[in-house]
Amino acid sequence: MVETEQLRAQMIEAAEGQLAASPDFDIATRSVCEAVGVTQPVLYRLFGDKRGLLDAVADHGYERYAQLKAAQEQTGDPVADLLAGWDGHMAFARDNPALYQLMFAPRPWSHSRARDRVFDLLVAALVRCAAVGRLRIEPRAAAEMALAANVGIALDHIAEPARFDSVERSHRLRDAVFARVLTESPASDAARDDEDPVRAAARRLRAQLQLAAADALEPEESALLLRWLDRMTGSGSR
Amino acid sequence: MVETEQLRAQMIEAAEGQLAASPDFDIATRSVCEAVGVTQPVLYRLFGDKRGLLDAVADHGYERYAQLKAAQEQTGDPVADLLAGWDGHMAFARDNPALYQLMFAPRPWSHSRARDRVFDLLVAALVRCAAVGRLRIEPRAAAEMALAANVGIALDHIAEPARFDSVERSHRLRDAVFARVLTESPASDAARDDEDPVRAAARRLRAQLQLAAADALEPEESALLLRWLDRMTGSGSR
DNA sequence: CGGTCCGTTGTATCGGCGATATGAATGACT
DNA sequence: AGTCATTCATATCGCCGATACAACGGACCG
């Protein structure tokens, strides 16, 4: 039944369109079914219930989000990519406010992993920064900070789109977060004065290993090495 | 008609209680009316529609928020009050997730000014910091950054309460924002440059310990540490 | 003191919603 | 060709937000 998958896609697309058009950020299952010419039980067979449909819409929103990110993160400088990623996130929220809220605002009983996948995308971008020695803290901790701040300012902007200095506000918060997350200059000198240089070197090696596995080591050896590096860098958060 | 205002308060209280108990962060007007023994038209006369009721609940939530803030922001150090305000905001979100989302998540056509009043509270706290020369940027710009970041990490925490290092995450973002917002040391102090960094760090750690106890230390150890920090920061300058 | 008028309340109901039971229809497999 | 499982459409249920309407009650005025 390939047609089933096409029908799923059609209903998700219709739901997303109606969600973007709806002023109250909500849709009716009846309306979605009528838009694609099927009856309600079809929806409940394909998605379980309304929440299942919304989860599918949120996951589909991640697909477009990932495409937008993949289309623009191609610079050689990972730090520039990171800053551009913040602005791209804001642009996505501005262009799809209802979908954005569906993806990033807490919904009870939501099974959508859209936010986690965006988190993983951000972690990858931060690991690329760590590989060139520009990251000061663990990538996952940095991603938690940056994503939370980005979502916060984006929801703020959705709630009050009348503000004129929204870009400046966004950049002020962005720079504040990344000033604490990133190092000032390219770490040709890897050692910061107030930190253990051994620890910094270990962190950099771990980032490199996350980007590309070490060919010279067996998988078991790599796993043990990563555990050692975790202990050396004191990463409490998984 | 004083009874009208009492009825309003009763309905708001009932709505807030049912909102906190409801797992889907939603309430039914019928249920609220039954809880206080009135019929539905009464609700629509007092609040206009369901959104009016929710706006009233959000504004009432601000009252409790303001009481919580007024109860704890009484230290002499405005910077310590600011940091404590961040943690108090997180505690409010943790204890009232549904109410918090009602107050701070974007709701279409919402006329509640709860968020703006919280913003004003934050501006006032930042102005007090500026009064002692600790603020680097304009209070309103600083409040926009801090509130957006605080809401972002709070909503993140509501969505995934299973995280264990939530306090560390919150403090990381908090420190990142305020590091850009605040100056390192009192600007009125002429000898700012030759201030002992150890003393500054000790002062900062003492402020941290006043906000939240150190989990890694025993109570006796924390007490001894506080005495040491008092000696390190006490005499000498200001 | 009594009548009229206006605001308030309760009853009943409307239209829409999410979700589902149930019989008809379709297609595959034996 | 017949049987069975799957899928679909009709009809419906229960709940919700919101409202029309008439009965009730008190205030004001003659």
Whether B235 has a pLDDT exceeding 60, the answer reads no
Q: CB-based contacts with strand D under 7 Å?
A: A 1, 38-42, 45; B 27-31, 40-41, 44, 49-51
User: Straight-line distance from CA B23 to C1' D6, in Å?
Assistant: 35
Q: What is the pLDDT of residue B186?
A: 58
d(CA B19, CA B29): 11
pLDDT at residue B45 in the model: 94
Give B6→chain A minimum CA distance, Å.
31
Give average pLDDT by consecutive 10-residue segment, chain A, 238 residues.
Answer: 78 96 96 94 95 97 96 88 97 97 95 97 95 93 97 96 85 97 67 54 66 68 72 56
What residues of A are in the B interface, CB distance below 8 Å? 23-25, 97, 101, 105-106, 108-109, 115, 137, 141, 144-145, 147-153, 155-156, 158-159, 169, 172-173, 175-177, 179-181, 236-237
pLDDT digits (tens, 9 = 90+) for B132-175: 889 999 899 999 999 999 999 999 999 988 777 789 999 999 99
CA distances from B110 to A6, A74, A111, A138, B227 (A): 37, 40, 27, 39, 50
Q: Residue B203: its pLDDT value, please?
A: 56
Q: How far apart are CA B9 and CA B11, in angstroms?
A: 5
- What per-residue confidence (pLDDT) applies to A165? 77
3 state SS of A141? helix
Buried b (16+ CB within 10 A) or exposed e, B138-176: ebebbbbbbbbbbbbbbbbbbbeeeeeebeebbbbbbbb
Question: What pLDDT was estimated at residue B191?
Answer: 42
Q: Of B178, B185, B180, B86, nearest to B132 (Cα)?
A: B185
Size of interface A-B (CB pairs under 8 A): 117
Q: Which residues of B touch A23 (CB under 8 A)?
A: 108-109
CB burial of residue A45 (10 Å; 0-12, 13-18, 19+): exposed
Among A105, A172, A177, the residue with its CB nearest the CB of B105 is A105
pLDDT of residue B52: 96
Nearest to A155 among B109, B151, B172 (CB): B151
Whether B150 and A150 lie within 8 Å, measured CB to CB: no
Q: Which of A25, A140, A151, A235 to mutate to test the interface with B (most CBs of B within 10 A)?
A: A151
Residues 34-73 of B with CB under 7 A from strand C: 38-42, 45
Protein-to-nucleotide distance from the CA of A58 to the C1' of C17, whole angstroms:
22
Say whether pLDDT at B180 is over 70.
yes
In three-state secondary structure terms, B183 is: coil
- Rounded to the nearest integer, the mean pLDDT of chain B is 85
Q: Contacts of residue B141 in chain A, CB cutoff 8 Å? A: 169, 172
Half-sphere exposure of A212 (CA within 13 A, CB side): 3
Domain ranges (residues) in chain B: 63-182
Q: Is B155 close to A106, i.e. CB distance below 8 A? A: yes
Q: Does residue A161 or residue B119 have the better pLDDT?
A: B119
d(C-alpha B217, C-alpha B211), whole Å: 15
Per-residue pLDDT of B65-110, as tens digits, reads 999 999 987 788 999 999 999 999 999 999 999 999 999 999 999 9
CA distance B200 to B191: 13
Stated in angstroms, how far is B2 CA from D29 C1'? 26
Question: Which residues in chain B are closer than 8 Å to A169, comparing Cβ atoms?
Answer: 141, 144-145, 148
Closest Cβ opposite residue B180 in set A115, A144, A175: A175
A29 touches strand C (CB under 7 A): yes
Q: Which of B165, B173, B198 to mutate to test the interface with A (most CBs of A within 10 A)?
A: B173
pLDDT attached to residue B131 = 83
Best CATH choice for the domain B63-182 from the list 3.40.1390.10, 1.10.10.10, 1.10.357.10, 3.40.50.2000: 1.10.357.10
Interface test with A, best of B50, B112, B118, B153 (most A CBs within 10 A): B153
Write down the pLDDT at residue B226.
66
